[in-house]
Structure 1
Amino acid sequence: MSLLKILIVEDEKLAREKILRLLQWENYGFQIVEAARNGAEGYDAFCKWHPDIIITDIQMPIMNGLLMLAKIKATNPAVRTVILSCHENFHYAKEAIRLGVDGYVVKDFVSPDEVLSVLVGIQKKFALQTGVSEPVGRIQVAEDKGLQQARNLVDALRGKRSALQALHAFHQTGQMFWLLKIVLDEHAQLTDLSNADHSAHPHALRIRMIQEFERNFQATVAYPCPGEYLVLLGMAGARTITEEAASAIGTAHGVISESCACSLTSGVSAGFLTFSALKTAYKQAEEAVRYRIFLGKGRVIHTHTIQQMVFLKPTQIEVKIDALRTAVTTNDIERVFAGIKALYAPNFSGMLHYHYVKYVNAQLITILLQYCQQTNRPLRDIFGCNYVPFEQLDALETVHDISAWFEQAFRKLAQISSERIDQLTTNKKIRKALATIHEHYAEDLTLDGIAATTGAHKVYFSRLFKQELGITYYDYLTRYRIEKAKQLMVEPSYKIYEIGRMVGFRTYDQFCNAFKRITGSIPSEFITAN
């Protein structure tokens, strides 16, 4: 393949010079044709050189990068583009996505590996278009041996000494190893494929993945759980881990794309020489994948990249989302609104912010959909139509507007919860009691206490409650708690005894007995079945 021509457009002299010195470009199949100082010069250089790839800043004098790209794309939609993202606002980052950029590099974290990782991915696209591919070493391994090595890799991560010894015996000594965790970003699509198509079956995909990797790499591939692959990659040649990882992702994508369209995100560990470091490498690769919250899906994320991003904490984001989900389950609308504000409060740089907001949007939409499913409510009750109006969300230009859109959706959800009480009874005392139960069900709600809130004697209240709803107060309270417990069980974040306490049961046994009496199964059986 001939050298791919690259045009650099960057207004800061030091940044331009840093990019020019970053790599021995020709060694990797690229040629820098010019380094322009602003969008106007960049457009002129594009007309002169007709480059294959443009690497551009966004905020520049005379003509910014987005205006330049829009003008260039109108002339040549096929040109590949990479954004140098820094401190531009959310609107700029969103507009860059609309223009169809192929990748981005955060200016603060520019490194040879980061730039090369993006460019090698683009290089692969050109290779697929032209039918040209780089020659790679081939290792033929029988299918059954591949499956055995896959089991050895998983068992080694679990600490089995015999599996570690088997990996040592199989792989060459004296070479460097890396562990890749490859995640199918939309792996649910695979489960929807027809089992009649054997090539789409997860086991068939697993075999194909093993065959392709062992044919093209010094690698062991494992399938620890649906939607994930682990690749133990050995290297003794002159290629860099960035090139090898990009090639590995290309191979995985080729196998998966035969069955469905699904982007892949890969986390790459630091290199290691002995398998005693395997568990550490797995933790590094796993943590790298989590940073797709900020860096976006479909990327190869190296562990040394996220080490420069210590101010970003994916686990903190997940904790906030879990707290919001719990607030929805417990009908605590004030905590819901506070949770939404907290999630949209961070203001990261450029593309990091765009991908973060996109991730949060997806999580909140999921919470709303789960509520509709669990309560058998039509989407129209929340969104005003029988589908999720993504076009409304996509049209919003600021994070403030997006936050307000979700606040309105969750406010409608709260209104629905209130309307459900109105539908159960017209009696004001019982309505008040139900509102108290729905808001404070996790607390110690005695018959005396709940009757007192309505101003009625407990005997009269008890008779009135059963007359209005057809069941006793304690039976209703228990059933309501069990329904809330079932909603919490769809999340793997909580243990059974924790869920019992969260919905108001004092002991584990009390919770399990009540759950079986009402549902016919114990909590663990319910979780397995659902």
Structure 2
Amino acid sequence: MIRTLIVDDEHLVRKGLVFTVPWKECGFEIVAEADNGESALDIIDRVPIDLLLTDLTMPVMDGFELMRIVKERHPAVRTVVLTCHQDFHFLQDAMRLGAIDYVVKTDIADNVLEEMLLRISERIAAEQAQGGPAEASGQAKQAESRESLVVMIPERVTPRARPAGLEGAVQIQDSIWMVPGKTSSEIDALLSRIEREGEADKLCYARVTNWPDKPRTSDWLPVLKERMFYESYANDEYIVSLSELIGEKPSTMDVPADIRQAWRNQRWLFDKKEFEDLLLAIRDNKPSYRSVVTMFEELAAAWDLIAVNNRLWPDWRMATAAFTTLVEWQRWFEQASISITQYARSRGFSNDVFIAIMRALEMLHTDSGESANRTELSAKVNLSQSYFSTIFKEIIGKSFHEAVKEARLEKAKQMLVRHADMPIYWIAEKTGFQDEKYFSKIFRLQTGMVPSEFRERQLRR
């Protein structure tokens, strides 16, 4: 059994921990309790302890001071932090003092602590099987350079859940977690646990070397995201020095006009080499990754109408939610293009006519508003109005009028979030709905909620 000491100045918290967590089933034994760091230290000096579960804010001696002294006197004791705080720097201080994990008090009733204890039990058993933690290696660890593991996860799939195996991770953004200030060997062990938990294929992660004390997230994270977008490959390990990140600034350049126009023309649908050349041009120019992703998302949203009506592929939003690299988007568009071109050939459409309608569909979604009308679009793609209407419905599966309404609603969804400070009537006007009441009615029919409710839910995510 793993001998455990619980330290918290709140009596009810200690008793709640003792009686609500199945300690024995997880392989732990509560040998003592303490209400401050000084009392806990006295117990540790007299009683053999394997695991210290401690609060940070306590009278007489707080958790930080307790951890410093325990680290010096009893280096074999492992520490887990029990806290109300989720502040990044606050938790980073605890991790630097040797904490192997942390638990937020509000999560105790959600089996989070139980799952963590099982992981710790497995970790301790593995170390004991290899001869136990080598205390003599402390000096070598100190000499070893510090690293941090930055993990990016799909927000829509697991919006605020810490990935399995990432004990000690601190959440620095909604879908980004970090394990700061570890040695290279500790990061290796952590990645091995992620692999064993079956999480490796779901994550995109980077090892940031030369980690100093308390670097500001804003100084390095934007550059890391951009570097990973262009230089990393999905599920592959990406290693970069923090000094390189801090010395750079993220790109503010928009996608060059010639690349954007070639992308929107979509002639690359039937020409693999043109598609590859276009992606290579994006990689060589390295515009802001956000502008590239926005361009990709706009086309994917435009294609959604033909995909849904003809069952070409499942929801593109879920499929791309976890993407953090250019190569992931490239692979998605490669597969989607194959499905689209197979559909076009199976129906006997010529390449030129099919591309004309796909261009019209893209313009309809990108420029949806008062100007989205049949006359303008048919002229832009060099087709007569009558033929345009007929072939549009044959290819897309819906009439032009129905497609306009769906495109405007899709645009409205984006603008409700991007322009959260603007009134509903302004959103309606900008997306081609002159009557706010009619807009709200149509919006509710499609989504099951009025625009204000949709906005509120999206902003809460």
Same fold (TM over 0.5): no
TM range (shorter): 0.3 to 0.5
Report the TM-score, using the length of structure 1 for normalisation: 0.36
Report the TM-score, using the length of structure 2 for normalisation: 0.40
